[in-house]
Structure formats: C-alpha cells, structure tokens
Structure 1
Amino acid sequence: MKKSKPQQRSPVLDESFAGQLDPPRRVVESQTVGGGCISPAWQVLVERSDNGERERLFVKRNSMAMAENFRCEASGLTALAQTGTIRVPSPLATLVHGSHAYLVLPWIETSKRRNGFFEEFGRRLAQLHRATSGDQIGWHEDNFLGSAPQKNAAMQNWPHFVAEQRIGFQVRWAVDQGLADRRLQADCERIMSAMPEILDGRQQGTSLLHGDLWSGNYLCDDSGQPVLIDPAVSRGCREAEWGMIRLFGACPVEFEQAYQETWPMNDGWQRRSSVYVLYHLLNHLNLFGSGYLGQCRSLAAEIVSQ
C-alpha cells in the first residue's frame, strides 16, 4: 500500500523496550529514520547483555492497537524469508511494552540501485513464486494491507476468492463508508459475477505473494541485492502480485522482462491483472478517501467493457 506522508515531528523512543528482547539489549544510541510511514521508526544501536556484542536494529513503534498488525507483518516476513529466494529481514521480536507495540528487525544497510538491479529483482521474484508454487488459496489467518484488514479465508477456487475476499470486501467497505457511488458499486458487482471469465487463461496453481509491492516496500542492500519488506502475504495466482507493481511499483520494463524470462506468465496476464490493480485502488479509496474514486470508477468501467 502506498502510504501517506510520515509525521513531521520526531517522536521520542522509550529505550527501555530493549530490555524486553531475548537476550536483553541496552540501547547505545538511536535516531529516527524514514520507512515508517504508518509507524515512526528508528535505527537503534544496541549492546547485547549475553556477550556484549553490538548490533544495529530497525524498530517500528505504534499504539497497542497496532500489535496485531505488527505480529502479522512479522509472520509474513518470516514466511518470505524461509523461501531462501530473496533477501528478507527475519524479525527479531514483536512486543508490547508500556503503552506501545514494537516490531524489531535487523538493520538493512542500503545503497543506490546499481545497473542490473531490476533485472535481478525480477528474477528473484519469479524464483520466489516458482519455489512456493502449489494449490492453496488464501492464508491461515486474516492480516493487513497497510493499516487495512485483508481477508484471507480460503474459497472454493481462485476467481471466487478474488470476487469475495478482495473486490467484494473492499466494495462493501467503501459502500459502508459512503465512498462508493452507485456506478462504481454496479460495475464492481458485474466484475465479481464475471470473475471466472475475467481471470480465464491464467496459469493454474498458486504461489506465496508479497502482496504489497509498491516502490517503498523493496530496498537495494549494500551489495546491490533486492530486499523485501512490509508484506501483506497470502497464497494466490502470481499475477495478483502485479496489481501493486503496476499501480505504484515504479519497476521498469527490464524488471518485467527478467521475470518473464525466468518463469513466464500466460498471455493476457496484463489484462487479467487489472482486477488486482482495482483491488489496491479500492483499498486506497477506503483508507485515503474520495480522491481515489475517479481512478476506481475508470478502471472498473474499463474491466467491465473488456
């Protein structure tokens, strides 16, 4: 999810959180950093109590209401890291301390993107999808797309899942909030009814999806390799990954070419992936308001007319 601008005032970190880690740490120094657009974030240098070694951490903090969001984010990062296909920071802890929730990750040193970065990123993403291929749909629990709930209960087939748990959920939410007009609601209902036809031609099977690959959710580390952060994981058709990539991913054509060379998607994937772009646009409508209504109406009408 593309987030709103971060807070302008620098928050103060309660350094006593480090004593709750395992093993306990002592904060040596900390500084606020970008990358926490929903939650304030810090780079923190700590010293371990067991061996005195120092390490740098990335720490996000928010109200206790975000504890479940942080737990789901950590679970998604762990699932992605376990594939061994692309670098992902393995969570060190999620905890509640005082009146705040915390997510603690190892610090990732980043660098400017080098020549060939997007080709490598495309190959690695295709490897992730291929290594996790199977037939499961959804996820073992609901989680979050940014700060929005994401429903993941398995359905009988993929088109039904997309219709009910993706487009349907977002449209019902938008209607409840008074954000979806009759035209958008009607077009989305048509899309839901026609979902088997709209998604026909895709490769069968599912993969583990990052789920929120906008340009702020991948990094280039100090060795020039891609790194994934802030996922909204589920299992689904890998074409769904391209919803956010197409919307806000800012990935050049060489990224797509490298992906296709590694594990090609079936012809027509660009047309089919418009449904997943719509999912993310509807989510932005629900989170950020009517400024996204025009884009939602335009894309929904385009899908209906195909």
Structure 2
Amino acid sequence: MKKLDQEWINQLPLKNVQSLSPVSGGDINDSYQVKTPDHVYFMKVQPGRGKQFFDHEVEGIHLLSQAANVPTVVSSGEINGDGFLILDWIDVGSGNQYDLGKMVANVHKVHNDQFGLDHNFDAGKIPKNNHWQDTWQKFYVEQRIDPLVKIAAKKGRWNDSRDQHYQVMRQQIIDYYTKHPVTPSLLHGDLWSGNAIFTSKHEPMLIDPDVYFGDREYDLGVTTVFGGFDRDFYRGYNDTYPIEPGFENRVGWYRFYYALVHVVLFGETFGPLLDGILSSFN
C-alpha cells in the first residue's frame, strides 16, 4: 500500500481531513477511511493509474442507480498520477436476501438494444473490450472468453486438455444463442457476494461494479461460483424477473469465465475449480 503523505492528502477535495486510516477493500485498490469534522468517507486509490481507472466505476454506479441502491459518489480524480475515488462511508449490516434478489432482477430489467458499453475498460489487470455487438454470442465469445484464454495461455495457465473442453463449450454457446437470442440487460459484471452488501439499515446495496449490457445469466452464473447467495435470493429474483428454463445447463458457460479470471489473476490455486467446470464439456 502506498504511503500517502500530507502533501498528497492536502490535495483532496475535502476540507479539514482529520484522519486517514487503511481499511480492507479487496485486492485491487488501496482503501481508506477518511474522517473530517462532520463526515466519514470511504476512499479508494490506484497508485500510478490516473483518473481513468475509476471513471468506469463511477459510470457503473450511475447506471446501476437506475434500479439499485448504490454508494454515493463524492468525488473522483487524480493526485500526483494516482487515481482516487471518494464515496460516502457505508456502515454494513444484515438484510433479506429476497430483497437483494429483487433488486438484482430490477437491474437486469434495464435493457439496451446492443451488447457492450460505450467505452472499453483498459486500466484493469484484465482489459475489457466492450465494443457494441448485435448478438450475445459474438460479444461473449470474441470479446470475453477468447481474449481471456489467450491471456491464460501467455501466462502458462492453459493446456491442451483445457482447450479441448473449452472448444466444446465455445461451440455450445454459439449454437445456443444463434437459436435463442436474448435481450441485452444491464449487468453488474462482478456479482460475487462481496459486492452485494446490506447497510446498517438492512437495505441491499451493490458495490464495485464492472458494468456492461449482456445476458443476465452471466451475473447469475457468477453468483454461484463462490456462494454467499441463498435460496431466498434466487426466489426474489425469479419472482421479479423469471429465469428462463434450462439455466442449470448454461450456468457453466459463465462459471467458466469467472473461474478463469481467478486462474489468470491468482494462479493454479483456482485450477481445480476451473477444471471441474470444464470437465462437463465433452
């Protein structure tokens, strides 16, 4: 974690900063609690990444706010080449997963006429090509899973066995969506349980988005990889925006992507998870 000196802190768009304390905030950002005499903030910093790193998150929060409870953006910008994002501090509590499921379903009801987003996200560890596409299979195969496989291969985390199963899965995706086109939905894009929280007022909230418009089953597939979502979540979702029949046969297409992301970022610790998912594609 980069040490932020007083000269850096003085450039923040906050008056009378009394304290700045490191807090847990994931593996990607340096995270801090910032206190002033009359307010508490949550700040994320990306050393050396510039303002553009958080522009995508700010847009994502704005888009999700159409249908979800999200953090309040106070400011974002750049200090000495470091990107920063300041949000209102959130006191975390507990809540009803049924309500969370309803909220995610309402996000997915925000539709678009194409798949993708109005900008790419190139500042992260895994660049995202969000170029607009008319079909989900073209977007997901050519702009998500194929590029990720290439990155894994370059890192030495791909092999012939994985590729054999992957080619079967890849063709399944193309064949299915050619015959079963879907409507582009607004996606959170990184919907693991750590990014779906409850406030101290028991309200569900979505944080840390990586938004684009895609098949809503992608978000649902991600929720199944590491758990944390119970039956009430899926019941709330299904009561609000029913899942299409046969989802259990498609969920592996999206579990695969999220598992491979973890293999690319963190290594073969997640290899058994990836191989277990791929083994069903013969």
Shared fold (TM-score, shorter chain, > 0.5): yes
Q: Specify every segment of 5 or more residues in structure 1 that has no aligned partner in the other structure, as ranges.
A: 1-6, 48-53
Aligned residue type for 2:197: L
The CA RMSD over aligned residues, in Å, is 2.3
Aligned residue type for 1:156: D
- The aligned residue for residue 150 of structure 1 is 128
Rate the CA distance shift 1:191–1:12 in 2: closer, same or farther, 3 A.
same
Aligned residue type for 1:39: N
- Return the alpha-carbon distance in structure 1 between the equivalents of residues 227 and 62 of structure 2: 22
Q: Answer whether contact 2:30 2:44 (CA < 8 A) is retained.
A: yes
- The aligned residue for residue 80 of structure 2 is 98
* C-alpha displacement of 1:254: 1.0
Rate the CA distance shift 1:67–1:187 in 2: closer, same or farther, 3 A.
farther
* C-alpha displacement of 1:201: 7.6
- The aligned residue for residue 124 of structure 1 is 103
- The aligned residue for residue 50 of structure 1 is none
2:191 counterpart SS class: coil
* C-alpha displacement of 1:190: 2.7
Q: Paired residue for 2:20, among 30, 47, 62?
A: 30
Q: Paired residue for 1:76, among 34, 37, 60?
A: 60
Percent identity between the aligned chains? 27
Aligned residue type for 2:53: N
- The aligned residue for residue 92 of structure 2 is 110
1:252 aligned to 2:242?
no
Rate the CA distance shift 1:199–1:257 in 2: closer, same or farther, 3 A.
farther
1:149 counterpart SS class: coil
Q: Paired residue for 2:210, among 229, 232, 239?
A: 232
Q: Paired residue for 2:31, among 9, 34, 41?
A: 41
Rate the CA distance shift 1:177–1:66 in 2: closer, same or farther, 3 A.
farther
1:133 counterpart SS class: coil
Aligned residues: 282
Q: Answer whether contact 2:50 2:78 (CA < 8 A) is retained.
A: no
Q: Answer whether contact 2:114 2:134 (CA < 8 A) is retained.
A: no
- Return the alpha-carbon distance in structure 1 between the equivalents of residues 125 and 269 of structure 2: 18
* C-alpha displacement of 1:162: 1.3
TM-score where L is the length of structure 2 = 0.90
Q: Answer whether contact 2:107 2:186 (CA < 8 A) is retained.
A: yes
- Return the alpha-carbon distance in structure 2 between the equivalents of residues 144 and 210 of structure 1: 17
- The aligned residue for residue 3 of structure 1 is none
1:64 counterpart SS class: coil
* C-alpha displacement of 1:293: 2.5
Q: Answer whether contact 1:203 1:266 (CA < 8 A) is retained.
A: no
2:271 counterpart SS class: helix
* C-alpha displacement of 1:12: 4.1
2:57 counterpart SS class: helix
Aligned residue type for 2:87: L
Rate the CA distance shift 1:96–1:66 in 2: closer, same or farther, 3 A.
closer
* C-alpha displacement of 1:41: 1.1
1:176 aligned to 2:154?
yes
Aligned residue type for 1:179: R
* C-alpha displacement of 1:264: 0.1
- Return the alpha-carbon distance in structure 2 between the equivalents of residues 157 and 168 of structure 1: 16
Aligned residue type for 1:46: T
- The aligned residue for residue 4 of structure 1 is none
* C-alpha displacement of 1:155: 2.6
* C-alpha displacement of 1:102: 1.2
Aligned residue type for 1:287: L
Aligned residue type for 1:221: T
Aligned residue type for 1:37: D
1:86 aligned to 2:68?
yes
TM-score where L is the length of structure 1 = 0.84
Q: Answer whether contact 1:201 1:268 (CA < 8 A) is retained.
A: no
* C-alpha displacement of 1:98: 2.4
Rate the CA distance shift 1:16–1:227 in 2: closer, same or farther, 3 A.
farther
Stretch of structure 1 that moved more, 287-296 or 136-145: 136-145
